[in-house]
Structure 1
């Protein structure tokens, strides 16, 4: 029960199905971001949704700067959720940073996850000129980003939501993202953002032993196409598919394309 409340867990779909889909949201949004994807799977799969601690309707009292100073804390949470609900035959759909969370869970807790979908995920956001790696951001850009967050978080959220969501012809999408960003306590948002943007899990990619689907959108400010190509090249049993939508949130801007990609993978 503590975990249910901590992560605002909801279980829906076919509760008798032996197969489970766990959906995990990225930074600044919550489990409702998958609302247009879920109906396509409810008949055949048990569906598990949750909010990451620090966001959505997760228990704010559960947030600990020490536990979540790196995303390993979130991977431990995922393992706890799978154990507490006794989930089997799990396909983990992780958006953005939650893709890496799912990957770490599969490595540290072998057998818990059977398949993994990385939806707009990155093993490292920071460029590494020494290795010739392009993540999409340099040190100066990240420094400016965090200075903007710390100077006026709400103004930063209004601007960032537009460039991350894209789809300028549907401004309501960026407005909804701005709202969920603004619902996060600024100090928590800044710490979690730093944990995300400075992570580096490139060395973990060869350790992944399960089937992986990498999903890439067009014109994603957070994850350029070269990053998804890097994932496919370095995760042994992986394949890359591209969905025809712009921005970092394909489950919101093009849900049926995401559904088709996942269904093909399953």
Structure 2
């Protein structure tokens, strides 16, 4: 099986360095359509779908391999090995930010920077750590997903997208969720929402930009602050945006922040 087919890899542009965009839970590479064109002049742009999502090979979804985010991190390194020029700038949304961080720990020489859009090392509150959800909240969401997947996605899509003045984006996210394989989505949801990678954060030495939204029910501001305090060589930028998907609901501001950071670190 080819890596290209497994992860539905698409490349654009022919810049001297590579920037790679990876989507969050339940989404696909089309979520970056407002962002990546502005980087074509400077970079080779690599887009991929996580295995089990979007246009990837659903038959390649191995529940054992993808029982942790490390399986997806291995896939990212496969794609980099075949399609990247020089160390890459990795842009990951939500769970993909953690996948990219894990990949950077496995092979730091392959990364020049990581851009984390709405990242969360753990969604579950724990003592002084604010992840956004109590353990029983996550259990309830996952149980609802098992019982009534359709109701779950109809409830969660507007929460994840936010963007109350852009209902078309809420509908787009719902439509993408509806296209996913329910069994894979349930499995990936459990892996995503119960993962705890706080202990891994300090192992990542690749420079990082944490792009946090001002009003995000999925990854609240406290998560960005915690990451900034514990992630070496990190910077925190807060964008005025309601929701968890600023690359869709506030793409110009997101692009500007990312571009300014890359110019600053000369990546």
- 1:230-241, aligned counterparts within 5 Å? 230-241=226-237
SS of residue matched to 1:187: helix
Deviations 1:209-265 (A, max 9, x none): 121000001221110000000010001100100111110000000011110111011
Please give the alpha-carbon distance, in whole angstroms, between the structure 1 residues aligned to 2:197 and 2:138: 18
What is the match of residue 153 of structure 1? 149
What is the match of residue 213 of structure 2? 217
What is the match of residue 27 of structure 1? 25
Please give the alpha-carbon distance, in whole angstroms, between the structure 2 residues aligned to 1:163 and 1:51: 22
- Indicate whether 1:263 and 2:248 are aligned: no
Please give the alpha-carbon distance, in whole angstroms, between the structure 1 residues aligned to 2:142 and 2:99: 22
* Match for residue 144 of structure 1 among 140, 144, 156: 140
- Indicate whether 1:104 and 2:121 are aligned: no
What is the match of residue 129 of structure 2? 133
What is the match of residue 77 of structure 2? 79
Stretches of 4+ aligned residues off by more than 4 angstroms: none
Counterpart contact for 1:7–1:57, Cα < 8 Å? yes
Q: Which has the higher helix share?
A: 2
* Match for residue 245 of structure 2 among 240, 244, 249: 249
Counterpart contact for 1:18–1:89, Cα < 8 Å? no
Counterpart contact for 1:220–1:246, Cα < 8 Å? yes
- Indicate whether 1:57 and 2:55 are aligned: yes
How far did residue 86 of structure 1 move?
4.4
What is the match of residue 113 of structure 1? 111
Deviations 1:8-37 (A, max 9, x none): 000002x1x221110000001100000001
Q: Which moved more, 1:190-199 or 1:79-88?
A: 79-88
How far did residue 72 of structure 1 move?
0.4
- Which structure 2 residue ranges, 5 or more long, are not aligned? 263-267
- Indicate whether 1:70 and 2:68 are aligned: yes
SS of residue matched to 1:111: helix
Please give the alpha-carbon distance, in whole angstroms, between the structure 2 residues aligned to 1:79 and 1:174: 32
CA RMSD of aligned residues (A): 1.0
Counterpart contact for 2:116–2:211, Cα < 8 Å? yes
How far did residue 89 of structure 1 move?
2.8
How far did residue 170 of structure 1 move?
1.3
Counterpart contact for 2:8–2:55, Cα < 8 Å? yes
- Indicate whether 1:184 and 2:186 are aligned: no
Q: How many residues align?
A: 262
- Which structure 1 residue ranges, 5 or more long, are not aligned? none
What is the match of residue 122 of structure 1? 120
**What TM-score results when the alignment is normalised by the length of structure 1?**
0.96
Please give the alpha-carbon distance, in whole angstroms, between the structure 1 residues aligned to 2:114 and 2:50: 18
Counterpart contact for 1:24–1:94, Cα < 8 Å? yes
**What TM-score results when the alignment is normalised by the length of structure 2?**
0.96
Please give the alpha-carbon distance, in whole angstroms, between the structure 1 residues aligned to 2:158 and 2:199: 32
